[in-house]
């Protein structure tokens, strides 16, 4: 290795503010650090060689030959255990309900992506992106349940007291698990009934039932358990973390999204760039207006600079009415899962 020669005079390389003499810096790579082991992926989830694939110590071929199914291996991969038959039946129940939901957002996203002539896997991947902190908020819901159950234990609160506290502090949150979405649809309550029948209902379902009662008491409008609350609580009583629940159910829905992709390309033509037209009837912005001559710019241009708090408040209120500007979005940099992402993105 050597230096790169005299580069002084190029850009700011000879600046007095430089903390080193750039022309004397080494050129090339640094020697390997022999005092530490080289980087190597290490996993306790699984390994594979030419003879077998082993997940959490179990040969996956032997699992299959013995008669275990896909649902069993989800417990093996994510919890390192073989489940009870009742637990296997419950997860199978949850996944079947989660797999298809008609022309919902994941299916719609899959179909839109399909129209541009992509691979099926791209469309299924797009469908998974629909599981955000409102539509598929299993992470937000589950971590909130854990947080308030921990508070109940530390402060000797009953489930009912902890549930009232949770509802009072999160009543209007889209990931509460209680809403007006399922007032005519019994699917959510049937899921809890199924868990009770199989004997796999635990503290999360019990706590969620208390949350439902507290929310019904606090709401002026009718509310009940919704699919987010039912699914999230049931999965956590099966031993899955909020994050594991998120991935299992989002990927489960992508199976159905694949069917929607196939149907879309079988029934509809592909869409090429520039082909789609949008009628004026679907536009509700400013009326058509002439483009002013550039020489008149100073006469009609409006500055963004605001000089007084009163002007700022007035301008901000007006800007919030301008859809597509972002002024109506609240964005807090804090994760609903308490680990990564954002706490809330929504309308003011």
- For every residue of 124-157, which 3-state class applies, written as one string? HHHHHCCCCCCCCCHHHHHHHHHHHHHHHHHCCC
Q: What percent of the chain has pLDDT over 70?
A: 92
* Most confident by average pLDDT, 20-34, 128-142, 203-217: 203-217
Residues near 139 by Cβ (< 8 Å), separated by ≥ 6? 133, 242, 243, 245, 246, 336, 337, 339
**pLDDT confidence tier of residue 266, bands split at 50, 70 and 90:** very high
State whether residue 6 is helix, strand or coil.
coil
- Which pTM was predicted? 0.80
Q: How many Å apart are CA 201 and CA 329, to the nearest integer?
A: 39
pLDDT, residue 5, reads 55
State whether residue 48 is helix, strand or coil.
strand
Contact 46, 54 (CB under 8 A): yes
Contact 91, 238 (CB under 8 A): yes
Name residue, tokens 């049931």: 234
- For every residue of 236-252, which 3-state class applies, written as one string? HHCCCCHHHHHHHHHHH
Bridge partners of residue 225, in order along the sequence: 178
**pLDDT confidence tier of residue 333, bands split at 50, 70 and 90:** low
**pLDDT confidence tier of residue 33, bands split at 50, 70 and 90:** confident
């Amino acid at each position: 290795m050597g230096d790169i020669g005299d580069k002084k005079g190029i850009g700011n390389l000879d600046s007095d503010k430089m903390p080193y003499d750039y022309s004397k810096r080494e050129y090339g790579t640094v020697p390997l650090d022999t005092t530490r082991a080289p980087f190597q992926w290490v996993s306790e989830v699984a390994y594979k060689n030419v003879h077998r694939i082993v997940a959490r110590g179990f040969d996956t071929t032997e699992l299959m030959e013995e008669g275990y199914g896909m649902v069993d291996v989800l417990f093996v991969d994510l919890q390192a255990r073989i489940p009870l038959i009742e637990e296997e039946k419950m997860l199978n129940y949850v996944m079947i309900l989660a797999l298809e939901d008609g022309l919902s957002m994941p299916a719609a996203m899959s179909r839109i992506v399909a129209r541009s002539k992509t691979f099926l896997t791209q469309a299924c991947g797009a469908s998974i992106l629909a599981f955000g902190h409102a539509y598929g908020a299993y992470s937000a819901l589950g971590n909130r349940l854990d947080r308030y159950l921990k508070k109940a234990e530390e402060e000797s609160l009953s489930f009912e007291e902890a549930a009232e506290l949770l509802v009072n502090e999160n009543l209007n949150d889209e990931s509460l698990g209680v809403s007006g979405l399922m007032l005519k649809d019994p699917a959510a309550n049937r899921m809890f009934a199924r868990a009770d029948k199989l004997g796999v209902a635990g503290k999360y379902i019990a706590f969620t039932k208390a949350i439902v009662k507290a929310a019904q008491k606090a709401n002026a409008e009718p509310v009940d358990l919704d699919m987010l609350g039912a699914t999230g609580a049931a999965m956590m009583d099966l031993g899955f973390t909020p994050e594991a629940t998120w991935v299992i159910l989002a990927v489960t829905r992508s199976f159905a999204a694949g069917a929607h992709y196939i149907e879309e390309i079988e029934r509809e033509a592909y869409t090429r760039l520039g082909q789609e037209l949008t009628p004026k009837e679907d536009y509700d912005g400013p009326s058509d207006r002439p483009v002013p001559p550039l020489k008149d710019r100073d006469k009609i241009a409006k500055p963004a600079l605001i000089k007084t708090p009163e002007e700022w408040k007035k301008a901000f209120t007006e800007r919030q009415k301008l859809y597509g500007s972002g002024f109506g979005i609240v964005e807090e940099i804090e994760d609903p899962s308490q680990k990564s992402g954002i706490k809330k993105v929504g309308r003011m």
